Amino acid sequence: MDRSQGRKPLNKNQFFKREKVRNARTIRAEAVNADKRQISDDPSSRDLSESGGMLQLPDFISSRQYEMKQLQLAMHSSKTAGCTRVFQALPRRLRRRTASHNVKRIPKRMRSRAIREMLKNDQQISDKRKMEKNKKSHGLSASQLYRARMSLQLLRLVGKSTSMKLALPEEITAPNCHLRTKIRRLKKMIKDGNKRQQFYNNRMGSYDNTSVNKLAPMPRGKVKYMKRQKFFSWLPTHVWNAKRSHMMKRWGYHLAWSPTQKCFRATHRIGGDVATSDGTLCMDSSFYGTMVLSGPRLQEAVEALAGSQSVKKKYRSSKLWYEGFAYNLNDPSIVLGPLELLWVNEDTILVRLHPAIYVTVFQSLGEKFSSELTIQDCRYSLSSITLRGSNSLEALSRILRSSDHCRSFEQFQTASQIADPNVLPKKTLFAFNCIDPRHLAAPKSLGGSRTVPTVDDIINLQVQFPHEEVNQIISHLCDPQQRNESYKNQHTLKELAQRRRSLLNSDPKEGHKNCIPFSAESDPSFPVLIVRRPKSEDWLLILPWFWLLPVWFQLNRIPRVYHMGLRQMQQLDYENSRLYFPDDFPFTAVGHAENSLYNREASSAKWNRKPPSKRLNFDKIPNLHSDQLPSCVGEIGDYFSCDWRLLQIWRNGIKYLKLQGKDLKLFHAEKTTQFDNNGTRSIDVVNDVWELYKDISKNEETDLLPLTLTPPKEDTSKAPQLLITQTPLQVVPVSCQYLERGRPKDNARIYMVPRDQVDHWKQVHKGIFRADGKVEHNLQHPLPSVTDLIGFVTSGTFHLGEGRGVANGFIDADAAHNQPSNYVLVRNVGTNVYRLANWSQINL
Amino acid sequence: MAKLIKKHPTVKSISHKQVHSTLYLKSKTPYVSALKRINKFLANVNRTGSTYVIVLGMGKAVEKALSLACHFQDQLQKRVEILTKSVDVMDELSNDDDDDPPDVDTELRKRTISGVEIRIYP
C-alpha cells in the first residue's frame, strides 16, 4: 500500500501557497566555480589563493556580502509570503477584513492589484451597477424593508393569537377589518407621525434629551436598533467602536473595553504626560453622567454631596475643576465614588458622576432637596470625550474652529502648541462657540501665528482669563434651550457635500479650500468646554450629545490619534498611581461588589472550567507561612478576589487579642474553640478569629462594608465578636514598588515584614551576591507569620515606566503607622514566593 | 510673604519630527542612558530628517550635558556645537497672608535660569 494514500492531496491553492512559502524561505548562495572545485573539493578553499595559504580578500568579501543580502531578502520575503491579499501588506492598524470584497475599501494605490488577486481566486467583485439593480428589485431601503417585515410578522402574530385578538378594540374584528383598511390606517398613522418632524429643528434628528427633576428617557435612535438597547443603551460612537474594540455591557451602557489591537506598550508611551509622547489617546466618555444643579439651597446640597472642600471660594468663583469623592447625603462617612464638579456660576453647578452611582445620587438629591433644587438630568444631552497624551490639544485644534472672534479660542490656539501640558496652570479651561467640524474637508492645523509660545503666554492664560466670555458659554452649555438651539439646521453629510460641490463649481479657486465658509445666520454653532482635569491629568471635551459624532469622526482622521477603552484608562491610572473606579475603590459599595461579585465570579468560573488536573489546587500550597493554623490549609482567604471581609475580621481580631493582653497564641494544643453561655464563639487564640471568619463567610450578605478610609466609630458596648465583625477596618491606599524580581498580579496578598526579619530583608535590598559577583536570587527567605497579613493588591502588573513590578492596593492603617520600615512583602495568589517591595501612600 | 508651591517645567513645543532627535536632560537622567539614547538618535538621524541631535540641559543638568558633549567630541570624534541659553521657567506661588491657605488662587511668576544646547552631528 502506498504510504501517502492516507494523506489528503493538496488542492491548487494549498500547493501554490506551500510553494510560495518554500521559495521565500530558501536562501540562495553563490554558485561555486566548477574549475576551482576541481582543484580542491573543499569549497572554502576558493577563498584562498591558488597557491593556498593566502586569503583572496575581495572575493571573500563579495561572496559574504552576497550571502548576507540574500539572507535579508529571504527574511523579508518570507514575512509576507503567507499573505495572499494586498491589504495584508498594510500596517496592522490599517487592515480591514470587513467588506474586503469591496475594492473601494482598499487604498487606491493598491486597488488594481487587489482586483487582480480577486480575479485569480474567482472572487466576485462587487459592482456598483449590479448593486443598484439589486436595490431596485425590491424597491425598499434596508430599514424600510426591516420595518415592513416586522409589521408583517406582527400582523401574522395578531392573526394567530387569540389573546391578542381579544385585546384589540371591538370594532376591529376579522370580518369588518380588511387588510386594505389596515394598510390605509397604517399609512395614515405614518403620515401623522411625520408631523412629529416639527419636534426636531434639523434634518439629522438631533434633539435635546433633558429631564428636569426626573431621570431622562433613553435617546430615540434608529428603530432598527431599539431592541438591542433595551437594557444597555448605545453611546453615539457605538457603531464606530464596535468595529474596532471589544465591547462590554456595564452600568446600563455598551462600553468599549479595549481596542482589538494589542496596545499595552503603545498606551504607556502615548498616554504618558511627557513631551515625547507624540500622540493622542481618545475615548468616548459620554457614559459618565452629567447633571446640572441649581437652586437656593445649592451650597448646602453641594457640601453634603461632595464635602466641604468643594464649596471653597477658589472653586466657586474661579472656574477650577474639582475632583473628589461623592458622599452619602445622610451619612458623610460613607463614600459613594468619585465626583467631578464645576461651578458654572454662584447658583449653578455641573456634576459628573460614574454611571454606577449616578442614579443613587440623583434620587437621593431629589428626595432630600426636592423643592429647593432643580436637577437637570443631562446623561443623554451632554457628551464628552476624554483625551490623553501630549498632543491632545493640538489634535483638537485641528478640528475645532470658533464661530466668532473669541479670547478663549485664542488662548486655546496658543496652548495647543505646547507639547508638555505639565507647564500649564492648574486652572486650564477653554470655552467657545464652535462651528460644525464637518465644514473642514480634512483636519488641518490652525494657521496664524506659529511662534513658539513663551512663559509669558502661559502666565497670560491665567492672568487674562476671559471670565465673562467663558461664563456665558458654559451657561449656554448647561441650558436645555440653548443646547436645542445649537442643533438648529444641523446639516446632513449630503447637504454639506452639496454645498462643497456647488462652491467648487462656482469658484474653483476658492472652492478648493479646506473649509466651507461659516455664515452666522444659517449655520449652526455649538458651545464646547475643554478642561484639563488637575488630578487625572487629562483633557476633557464636553459638548452637546448630538455634536459628539461629527467631532469624533474628524478627530479619528488625524494621524497619531488612537482610540482607547476602559482598560487603557485603568492602565494609565495604575501607571500614575491613581485609583481607578470601581476596581480600586473597595471602600465603596460599588467597588466592593465589583471585587467580591463581578471579578470574583469571572475568575472563579474560569478556574472551574478547567479539569482538576489542569488547575492550581489552592488547598495544597506548601510553605505559605512560618506557622500554620489547624483550621486553615492552603491559600489564605478567597482565591479569586481580594478578601476584604477576611482582612477586616483578621486585623480587628488580632487587635482585640492584643488589647486583651494575650500573646497572640495561634491555637490551644489541647482544646478546640470554646463557646460561652450565649452560644457565641469565645475569642481566645488566633484560630478562633479564623473560625469566626469562616462562620461569617458562610452566610455573607451583610450590607456593612468591610473597609473605610476614615477612622471608624468606636463602640465599646458591643460584644467582642460583633465588634470584630461589624467595625469596618480603616485602610490606606498604597503603591508598592518591587525592589527585586517578580511581577505582581491582582489580588496578591500584602504582608508586613516581621520585626525580627527586617535585617534580613534590608540585606536582600542591598543585594546578596554570589562568589562570582552576581546577585543571588535563589535564597531561602524566612517566611512571615499568618498573622502578618495586612492587605491586598487591587491592581498590579509590570510597570513599563518604572521597569519593575508595581502593585497598587490597600493596607491596614494601623499596621501602616506602626511599621518599623517602608518594606512590605507581596505574594501572588497560589504561590509561595514573597517579593520585597517599598510602599508609599497614594494621595487621594 | 509668597510661598512657593510648585516649580513648573519649561515650555516645550516639540513637533513630531523633533521627538526623535531632541533629548531633554534631567539632573536625574542616568549618564549611560543618555549616552545610549543619543547614539540611537544619531543612528537614525537621517531618517528623521534632521542633520544633528539636540541635547538640552539647564541648571543642574548643564554639567551632565557638557560632559556628554565632551564624550562625543573627544572619545567618538564627532562634531559638536555648544550654545549657551537663558531658559524661562515658572514658579507657582501662593500668598501666605490669606487666612485659608488651600483656598487661594495661585500666582505664576517668571524666573530665568541658564541652560545649554548641544548639537551633535553624526
Measured CA to CA, the distance from residue A421 to residue A689 in angstroms comes to: 51
Strand pairing class (A823-827; A835-841): antiparallel
Q: Tell me whether residues A312 and B102 touch, CB distance under 8 A.
A: yes
Specify the pLDDT at position A128: 58
For helices A407-415 and A467-477, give the axis angle rounded to 10 degrees: 100
Measured CA to CA, the distance from residue B78 to residue B68 in angstroms comes to: 12
A177: Cβ–Cβ under 8 A, 6 or more apart, which residues? A171
Specify the pLDDT at position A1: 45
Specify the pLDDT at position A100: 64
Specify the pLDDT at position A778: 85
Query: Which among B104, B82, B84 is positioned nearest to B94, based on CA atoms?
Result: B104
Cα A611–chain centre separation = 32
Q: In degrees, to the nearest 5, what angle opens at C-alpha B31 toward C-alphas B28 and B33? A: 95
Report whether A661 contacts A651 (CB < 8 A).
Answer: no
For helices A548-555 and A392-399, give the axis angle rounded to 10 degrees: 110
Q: Chain B neighbours among A 317-336 (CB < 8 Å)?
A: 318
Measured CA to CA, the distance from residue A455 to residue A101 in angstroms comes to: 54
- Burial degree of A111 (CB within 10 A; 0-12, 13-18, 19+): middle
| DSSP one-letter code for A513 | S
CA distances from residue A471 to A17, A339, A377, A431, A728 in whole angstroms, order as listed? 66, 22, 21, 8, 44
Interface contact B10, partner A, CB < 8 A: yes
User: Chain B residues with CB inside 8 Å of A452's CB?
Assistant: 11, 13
Specify the pLDDT at position A726: 82
Q: In what order do the strands lie in the sheet with A335-345?
A: A211-212, A374-377, A289-294, A348-353, A335-345, A322-327
Q: Which three cell numbers stand for residue A162?
A: 387569540
Interface contact B89, partner A, CB < 8 A: yes
Pick the residue of A276, A280, A414, A417 with the most B CBs within 10 A to test the interface with B by mutation: A276
Q: How confident is residue B12, by pLDDT bands cut at 50, 70 and 90?
A: confident
Amino acid found at A223:
V
Specify the pLDDT at position A14: 83
Q: Half-sphere exposure of A596 toward its Cβ, with a 13 Å CA cutoff?
A: 24
SS3 A729: strand
The H or E element that residue A695 is part of is helix A686-698
Q: Tell me whether residues B110 and A459 touch, CB distance under 8 A.
A: yes
Q: Tell me whether residues B13 and A419 touch, CB distance under 8 A.
A: yes
Specify the pLDDT at position A168: 66
Q: Half-sphere exposure of A515 toward its Cβ, with a 13 Å CA cutoff?
A: 17
Interface contact B92, partner A, CB < 8 A: yes
Distance from CA of B76 to the nearest CA of A (A): 27
Instruction: Catalogue all structural domains in chain B, each as residue range(s) with its CATH number.
Output: 18-96+104-120 (3.30.110.20)
SS3 content of chain A, % helix, strand, coil (to 5): 45, 15, 40
Q: Tell me whether residues B105 and A318 touch, CB distance under 8 A.
A: yes
Report whether A822 contacts A737 (CB < 8 A).
Answer: no
Task: Give domain limits for chain A.
Answer: 12-82, 89-130, 144-194, 612-844
Measured CA to CA, the distance from residue A408 to residue A400 in angstroms comes to: 13
**A527-541, B17-31, B99-113: least confidently modelled range:** B99-113
Q: Look at the block and give the residue holding cell 401574522.
A: A156
The CATH fold of domain A612-844: Elongation Factor Tu (Ef-tu); domain 3 (2.40.30)
Q: Which three cell numbers stand for residue A114?
A: 487587489
Q: Which three cell numbers stand for residue A428?
A: 486650564
Q: Chain A neighbours among B 95-114 (CB < 8 Å)?
A: 100, 102-106, 108-110
| DSSP one-letter code for A487 | T
- Block means of pLDDT (10 residues each) for chain A, 844 residues, are 66 82 80 54 57 81 91 80 68 64 74 80 64 52 69 73 66 60 64 58 86 86 79 91 92 93 91 83 94 90 89 86 92 91 91 94 90 90 94 92 90 89 89 92 76 86 89 92 91 90 81 80 93 92 94 92 94 93 92 91 94 91 85 86 90 86 74 72 80 79 81 77 84 93 93 90 90 88 91 94 93 87 92 93 88
Measured CA to CA, the distance from residue A219 to residue A237 in angstroms comes to: 14
Measured CA to CA, the distance from residue A805 to residue A574 in angstroms comes to: 12
| DSSP one-letter code for A831 | -
Specify the pLDDT at position A700: 64
Q: Which three cell numbers stand for residue A338?
A: 468619585
The H or E element that residue A475 is part of is helix A467-477
SS3 A532: strand
Interface contact B4, partner A, CB < 8 A: no
Pick the residue of B5, B8, B10, B14 with the most A CBs within 10 A to test the interface with A by mutation: B14
Interface contact B11, partner A, CB < 8 A: yes
Specify the pLDDT at position A313: 84
Strand pairing class (B2-7; A374-377): unpaired
- Burial degree of A704 (CB within 10 A; 0-12, 13-18, 19+): exposed
SS3 A244: helix
Query: Which among A642, A624, A811 is positioned nearest to A736, based on CA atoms?
Result: A811
